[in-house]
Amino acid sequence: MLRAKTAPLVHNDDEHTIRIARKRFVRRQWARRWLAWRGLVATLLVFGLLAGSVWLVFFSSVLAVSDVKVEGNEVLDPRQVRRVAAVPMGEPLATVDLDAIAARIEGLAPVLGVDVSRSWPDKVRIAIEERVPVAVVERDGVVRGLDKDGVIFRSYPSAPDDLPVVRMTARTQADALAEAAIVIGVLPGDLAARVDFIEVATIDTISLQMRNGRTIFWGSAEDSENKAKVIGVLLEAAPKARTYDVSVPGQPTTRR
């Protein structure tokens, strides 16, 4: 009786062991297959992500240009900047030619420098550095700003009180204005305040007309710092002179 009852139990244990072994074998087989396919699946996923990203950035309208932001402008109207920039609205932001936009904006007279960049997800940012006037130029009744490089870049309804006035002739060229700007830059504050206007004909014929009617012949902008020191001494030493010539600072002259 006891032997007849234990025989089926041993048989059932064997079948259970076999089933466990088969399951483990199947799992090992699946594991081997997954190891074989895992690299390919990962490659396909990466490729899909890259392809989707390329399409999203370069071809879709999701990241297309919808606005242009202008910063740093005071003289320039932002509408003028946008018009000259000619940013291709509606095109993918990633494909916009930033250098071409910057080149167009640099053609505007008030622009000293410009930085054009992408502002994700859908804007072009234009940061402008405008020229700063160091004087105003009067010609034919028109008053315009002159920067440190001698560039005329903006208009004024009248000459501002805080800027010296430059008067030019019909033959005055841009290089002469640049020389005048250098002279203005080295004038001491007390001397500059006494100047009525600077007269410029050529690069070698720059003169200062003082508010008291006196004239200072400056010549060119060469050695201007030394000339500024010399004229300071002359004005003190010869206060009754009508003209002062420091065009050759080593040999200054005065005349009544």
* pLDDT (mean) for 57-85: 87
Per residue in 170-227, pLDDT tens?
888 999 999 999 999 999 989 998 999 999 999 999 999 999 999 999 999 999 999 9
Is the pLDDT at 256 greater than 90? The verdict is: no
Q: What is the pLDDT of residue 76?
A: 96
Is the pLDDT at 153 greater than 60? The verdict is: yes
Full 3-state SS string of the chain: CHHHHHHHHHHHHHHHHHHHHHHHHHHHHHHHHHHHHHHHHHHHHHHHHHHHHHHHHHHCCCCECCEEEEECCCCCCHHHHHHHHCCCCCCEHHHCCHHHHHHHHHCCCCEEEEEEEEECCCEEEEEEEECCEEEEEEECCEEEEEECCCCEEEEECCCCCCCCEEEECCCCCHHHHHHHHHHHHHCCHHHHCCEEEEEECCCCCEEEEECCCCEEEEECCCCHHHHHHHHHHHHHHCCCCCEEECCCCCCCEEEC
Per residue in 243-254, pLDDT tens?
999 999 999 999
Q: Percent of the chain having pLDDT more than 70?
A: 76
pLDDT averaged over every residue in the chain: 85
Task: Give the predicted TM-score (pTM) of the model.
Answer: 0.71
